[in-house]
Amino acid sequence: MSAPVGPTGCEVERARERNLRLGASFAHTASSLRFDGEADYDLTQQAALATLAGALGERTMLQLSLGAVLGGDLSGERRSYDVEPGVVAGLVLAHRFFGAQEHEPFVTTSIGYSMSFARSRERTGAREGAALSASDARLGALVGVTLWRTWVPYTAARFFAGPVLWEQDGLERTGSDRHHYAIGAGSTVMLNDRTSLTVDGSVLGERTLAFALSAAF
């Protein structure tokens, strides 16, 4: 399972023009988990984050993310749990290998790490919630093109691994995502010289839908 940190990677296309980008994002994530090698659970989460990205050169960008898990649902083994609000944080380093000119395809790769912490509460009326946390190391690649200096369509592949730790009925359970990949596409639109809107989704593996608004300074 990956912490839902939203889309990253396309901002490096504009990193050479501004030193910093401030942003806000919302992400919905649906994952298929397996605990202790045998118990399958479905997890959905929603998160909202603030992001700060800085250029480390003409082709490299570092992004920090910090925000909140807004809630979610965890179900399996004929039991259902509500995921309560928590915290999420992430760090991503992205690098563009080529494609600096308009109408020229580009390839951007990224490496990142994220964590999320929340609590789950069984819907049968449990008085106390149980700890639910996840950490993720992730590699990604984006292939796209900048058109008319205002539109950046792209395809994306992301691969990740990391444990999910869950306290269920007083027992510590360890799980992970059953797929360890997410494949999809996205689009960034420049609203003006400083502001961009990104929509990013994955339909194979981990399913995600994310929106990000950022401004350059």
Q: Which residue has the higher pLDDT, 184 or 102?
A: 184
Tokens (6 digits) for 151: 């539109």
Backbone angles phi, psi at 16, to 5 degrees: -70, -15
CATH of domain 10-216: 2.40.128.130
Each residue of 188-198: b (16+ CB within 10 Å) or e?
Answer: bebeeeeebeb
Whole-Å CA distances, 172 to 38, 130, 134, 157, 202: 15, 10, 13, 32, 30
For the chain, the domains span 10-216
pLDDT, tens digit, 9 for 90 and up, residues 36-75: 988 999 999 999 999 999 988 888 899 999 999 999 999 9
Quick check: 206 and 179 in contact, CB under 8 A?
A: yes
Residue 126: the pLDDT is 66
5-21: average pLDDT:
55
Answer yes or no: is pLDDT of 14 > 50.
Answer: no
